[in-house]
């Protein structure tokens, strides 16, 4: 290990944004004896071709079935040399100056395992973003936090203590899983009031995004993280901090009760006003709370889909999270020459 910091970029089919992401990461580590690693989940577009223009490492999966949100950062970690590790999505751009401030804080306080900064959203038109803004998550505000959603800088020695960076089995919630393992080991996480990244997120319709996330298994993550924690020391902490789990369990009870009352109405044992009132009341309440009928519909639809995904994720099979991920590594030098690394993970 001879690098101060490693920036790990997680990517799958990000050809439109990857050049700007890589350039921002290279600029951010230029004065820090750092490195940039593209962790590519077998992109089928020009993501890797574009990345080969830059002096970085390119780690790529060899099996498409290994794709997940958790696999990206862990893949980069397999080849990282940095004393500190920054996890960056392929649709983000780093702000210069954040890494120096984060490292300075972590150097002074050895019990801090991770530091995040402000995430500046550049796509503010989607329903998903508006719903997130309405929730105003506490973990995105400066101060001590329970997780570093949106990426952060982590202390390598702390990661080694908890065994692995991110769980390769998780299709989402990998940041929460990491945060809970670190906190269970006695470490703290902090978000500082400094702009860290610009996020250029999804611009597709929110309902289409829900459908896409089901197909990619992204929303199965809540069930997968619960399954991964079973019998582990951090299980109680996870169930305490996974606040949306209670929402989806309540949604499940609402769905099942509505179906039961509807069945009773069909059989003539109950008037239809009962299941009808139960079905529309949450929509009225959420539309009033969000001050938007469209946001209300989206919230209820999201509950139903995530409730189903919770149980689908609980049923998933999982590999030991610290096992090596089958992959290849290409190292790009300053002359954009590609060399296969001899330590390829097969």
Q: Residue 341's pLDDT band (boundaries 50, 70, 90)?
A: very low
The mean per-residue pLDDT over the stretch 26-40 comes to: 97
Segment of 87-91, 129-133, 246-250, 262-266 carrying the highest mean pLDDT: 87-91
Tens-digit pLDDT profile for residues 64-118: 999 999 999 999 999 999 999 999 999 999 999 999 999 999 999 999 999 999 9
Shared domain check, 82 and 39: yes
Which segment of 13-22, 149-158, 267-276 scores lowest on mean pLDDT? 267-276
Same-domain status, 112 and 17: yes
Beta-bridged to residue 115, according to DSSP, are 153, 190
Q: Which residues contact 30 (CB under 8 A, 6 or more apart)?
A: none
Is pLDDT at 342 greater than 50 in this prediction? no
Domain that holds residue 238: 205-315
Whether 251 and 335 share a structural domain: no
For residues 198 and 280, membership in a common domain is answered with: no
* pLDDT attached to residue 284: 87
Q: Mark whether 218 and 278 lie in a shared domain.
A: yes
Number of domains the chain contains: 2
**What mean pLDDT value characterizes the chain?**
89
Average pLDDT over residues 216-243: 93
Contacts of residue 173, Cβ cutoff 8 Å, sequence gap at least 6: 221, 222, 224, 225
346 inside domain: no
Asked if residue 69 lies in contact with residue 171, where contact means CB atoms within 8 angstroms, the answer is: yes
Alpha-carbon torsion (214, 118, 156, 147), positive or negative:
negative
pLDDT of residue 133: 54
Same domain, 159 and 58: yes
| Residue 336 pLDDT greater than 50, yes or no | no
Q: Give the model's pLDDT for residue 344.
A: 45
């Amino acid at each position: 290990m001879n690098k101060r910091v490693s920036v790990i970029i997680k990517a799958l089919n990000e050809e439109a944004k990857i050049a700007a992401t890589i350039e921002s990461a290279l600029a951010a580590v230029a004065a820090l004896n750092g490195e940039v690693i593209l962790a590519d989940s077998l992109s089928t577009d020009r993501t890797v071709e574009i990345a080969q223009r830059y002096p970085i490492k390119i780690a790529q999966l060899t099996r498409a079935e290994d794709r997940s949100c958790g696999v990206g950062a862990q893949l980069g970690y397999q080849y990282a040399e940095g004393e500190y590790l920054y996890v960056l999505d392929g649709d983000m751009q780093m702000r210069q100056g954040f890494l120096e401030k984060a490292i300075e804080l972590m150097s002074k306080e050895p019990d801090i395992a991770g530091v995040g900064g402000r995430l500046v959203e550049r796509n503010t038109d989607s329903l998903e973003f508006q719903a997130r803004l309405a929730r105003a998550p506490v973990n995105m505000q400066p101060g001590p936090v329970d997780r570093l959603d949106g990426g952060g800088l982590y202390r390598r020695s702390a990661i080694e203590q908890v065994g692995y960076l991110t769980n390769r089995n998780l299709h989402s919630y990998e940041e929460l899983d990491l945060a809970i393992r670190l906190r269970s080991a006695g470490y703290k996480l902090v978000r500082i009031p400094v702009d860290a990244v610009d996020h250029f997120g999804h611009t597709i319709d929110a309902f289409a995004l829900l459908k896409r996330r089901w197909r990619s298994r992204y929303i199965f993550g809540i069930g997968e993280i619960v399954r991964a924690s079973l019998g582990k020391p951090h299980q109680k902490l996870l169930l305490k901090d996974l606040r949306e789990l209670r929402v989806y369990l309540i949604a499940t009870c609402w769905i099942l009760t509505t179906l039961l009352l509807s069945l009773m109405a069909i059989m003539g044992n109950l008037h239809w006003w009962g299941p009808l009132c139960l079905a529309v009341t949450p929509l009225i309440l959420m539309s009033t709370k969000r001050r938007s009928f469209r946001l209300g519909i989206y919230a209820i639809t999201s509950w139903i889909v995530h409730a189903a995904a919770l149980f689908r994720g609980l049923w998933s099979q999982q590999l030991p999270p610290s096992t090596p991920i089958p992959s290849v590594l290409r190292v790009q030098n300053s002359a954009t020459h590609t060399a296969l690394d001899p330590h390829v993970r097969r």
